[in-house]
Amino acid sequence: MNPQEKIKELVELLNKYSQEYYNNDVSLVSDYEYDSLLRELETLENQYPEYILPNSPTRRVGDFQETELEKIYYQTPMLSLADVFNCNELRDFDMRIRKEGFNPHYVCELKIDGIASNASYENGKFVLGSTRGNGLVGENITANMNTINSLPKKLANNMSIELRGEVYMKKSVLNYLNNIREKNGETLFKNPRNAAGGSLRQLNPEITRKRNLDIFNYTIVNPKQYGLQGQYEALKFLEKVGFSVNPNYEYCENIDDVINYIEKWKDTRKDLDYETDGVVIKVDNFDMQEAIGYTIKTPKWAVAYKFPALEVETKMLNIIFTVGRTGNITPNAVLEPVMIAGSLVQRATLNNEDFIIDRDIRIGDYVLVRKAGEIIPEVVRVNFDRRGSDVKPFYMIDKCPECGSELVRAKDEAVHYCLNEECPGRIRAGLVYFASRGCMDIDGLGEKLVEDLFRRGYLKKITDIYRLKNYQSELEMIEGLGEKSVQSLLDAIENSKNNSLDKVITSLGIRFVGGKISKILAKQYGSLDNLLKASYNDLLNIKDIGEAIANSLVNYMAKNSDLVRELQSLGINPIEEVNENEQIFKGMTIVLTGKLESLTREEATKIIEDMGGNAASSVSKKTSFVVAGSDAGSKKTKAEELNIKIISEQEFLEMIKR
C-alpha cells in the first residue's frame, strides 16, 4: 500500500473510532491502539505533507457530538495534549524547552479518565457548564453538571471565574450501578469513562443525578487575573476557594522528579477509586508557558504521559518454538499485530508447556497480552467469551525445532531443553546475546544481522565476531550494508574490547550468571584468568552465590576455557583492580539528586558501586545518605523528612578524594 492510500485508510479508521467514542461512548479499540494508529498517521503526514486530508484527526482537538444540546463557543480554546509513552520522550520534551533557554520546574497531576468540562461562575454563582467538544465549540450541559455534588454551585467569596476540569465516575459507583442494572436486566456500563460520558449528555438531568458523578478541577482560564503565577499555586487556590482538586498533584524541580512521580503511581494507581491512564506534566510558571507557546492543537509546555497498557486483547494466530542460548525451548504466540506501550507487538512468550496447559491457551483464541516488566510481551490469559469452535489444542513438541534432537524436560522444572551444544539455534541465540546492549553492546550487530552472518558462515562462535574485520570487503557487498555501515559495525566491535570485566562475564551467557552476579564475580576475582581458576567451594563462600550458580560457572569454565583464552588473545581481557581499602561505601545505600557539576549521574553511580555501595533511585529509611546537587527536588525533601544525612557534591568529591 502506498503512503497516500495508507494515510486515507488511517484517517477513515480513526474517524470511525472517534465517532463511536465521542458520539456513542463506545470504545471500539483500546486507548493505546487508537494512540498508536494516530502516531502512525502523524509520522506518515510528516513524511508526506502533500497527502494530508482536511478531515484528518491530527487537524482537530476532539470531536463534536451531534445531540440536541446547545452549542457553546470558547474564547479560550480547550486544547488537547501531546502524548508521550516513555522516559526518553519525556526527556526529549524537557530538552526542547531547555534548548529555548528556559529552566523549567514542573507540576505533575494524575490524568483522570473522564470527560473534559468547562465551568463558569458569575458573582460566585455557577451559571454554565459545558463539554470540550472540538476545543472551540462544546455542548451546554449546565443542568447535568448541576447534579454533581462535588462541584460547588455557590462560592463563598462571590467571585467570577472560569475553570476546566474532568467529570468522572468512581469505580465503586460503577460497580454499584452495574449491580442494579444486572438485577433489572439492563445492559451493563462497560467502564467508568463511557458511563460518565453517556450520563453527562442525558437530556433528562434526573437520570444524570442518579449516576453520582464527580469532578476534579485542574486549571483556571486567565489565572493571572487572580494574581496566580504558576500551576501549583493555581491548584492550591482552587482548593482554598472550595473546588475539588485531585489531591495527588506534585511540584517537581526537574524531569528526574517527574519520572520518579510516574514510577510512584505506575502501580499504586490501581488502588485508587477512579481510573487514571497517565500523568499530565505542565511547566509550572504561566509566563514561561506563554513564552514557550503552542502548536496548532497542543501546548508546547505540557504533555500527557500515558501509562503502559496493563493488558491488550488480540488474536493468537499460531504457536512457534524458539531455542535459547542454554538450549531452553520457549513456545511463542504469533499474534495479530497490536500496539502495547507505544510499540507494535506481533510475538509474545508463552513461557513453557505448563503455562499453556494451565491456562488452556489454544491457537485461534483471543488472548490478553501485556509487557512483562514492560519489556517482554507475554500472553496472560484467554478471553473465553470469544473462543470459537475452530480453535486448535496445544501440543508440546518433542524434538528441537532447529537441530531435531530429542528434547529433555529438566527435573523439577517446566522447561524443555535441547542438550545438543552444537545446535545452530543455541549458537545463534548466544551470538545475539553476546552482542546485545546489556552485554558487549555492539551497536549494529542485532538479531537480523547475526542470523544473516550466521547463515553465510561468517559467524560460528562469539570469537568470530572479532574476526569480521578480515572480511570487510565481502561484508560491504551484502545487501543492506555497504561501506559506511560495515565500518561503523567494525568500529563498534573494536570498541567493545574496552568493556569492563563484569560486562564480559555477563556476555558469556553462563546459566544463572546475569549482570548482578557478574559484578560480584568481577570484584571478587578481578580478571578472566582468576575466574578460570575459581573452585566450587571458593564460589560458595561468596555472598549471593549458591550451589546452582557455582555449579553452572565451574562447568562452563571447564568446557569453555579454550573459548575464554581465545577471547583474551583477541584483546578482550579486562582487569579490575580489587582494593578493599577503596571500598569506603561498602554496605551503604546512596541516593543522588539534582544536577552534579563535576560528574555525570552515570559516573557518580559507577563510583559508588566501584567503592562497594548501592546507588538507589529513591529515598527510604534504608538510605545511608543523599548527595544533593543543584536543583535538588523531592528526594532531598524526603531525606529531610526522614532525618537522613544530606551532603553536597563537594563533600562527596572529598569522600572519594577527587
Looking at the annotation, which residues are catalytic? 111
Neighbours of 174 (CB within 10 A): 24
- DSSP 3-state of 415: coil
From CA 487, how far away is CA 472, in angstroms rounded? 8
For the chain, counts of helices (H) and of strands (E): 23, 22
Which triple of cell numbers denotes residue 312? 491488550
- DSSP 3-state of 628: strand
Q: Are 307 and 128 in contact (CB under 8 A)?
A: no
From CA 510, how far away is CA 539, in angstroms rounded? 15
From CA 395, how far away is CA 388, in angstroms rounded? 19
From CA 625, how far away is CA 245, in angstroms rounded? 35
Q: N- to C-terminal Cα distance for the chain?
A: 60
From CA 117, how far away is CA 643, in angstroms rounded? 43
CA dihedral sign, ordered 585, 586, 592, 598: positive
The position carrying cell 486549571 is 219
Kindly list the distances between the CA atom of residue 577 and the CA atoms of 158, 272, 535, 545, in Å, as whole numbers in the listed order.
Answer: 72, 50, 21, 21
DSSP state of 316: E
CA dihedral sign, ordered 440, 441, 443, 446: positive
Strands 125-131, 115-122: pairing is antiparallel
From CA 407, how far away is CA 395, in angstroms rounded? 14
From CA 519, how far away is CA 537, in angstroms rounded? 19
From CA 76, how far away is CA 135, in angstroms rounded? 9
User: If we measure between CA atoms, which residue out of 288, 308, 305, 319 comes closest to residue 395?
Assistant: 319
Q: Cα 509 vs. chain centroid, distance in angstroms?
A: 27
- DSSP 3-state of 221: coil
Q: Are 122 and 220 in contact (CB under 8 A)?
A: no
DSSP state of 325: T
Q: Which residues contact 490 (CB under 8 A, 6 or more apart)?
A: 468, 469, 472
From CA 124, how far away is CA 153, in angstroms rounded? 8
Residue length of the chain: 658
Q: What share of the chain is helix, strand, coil (3-state, %, to 5)?
A: 40, 20, 40
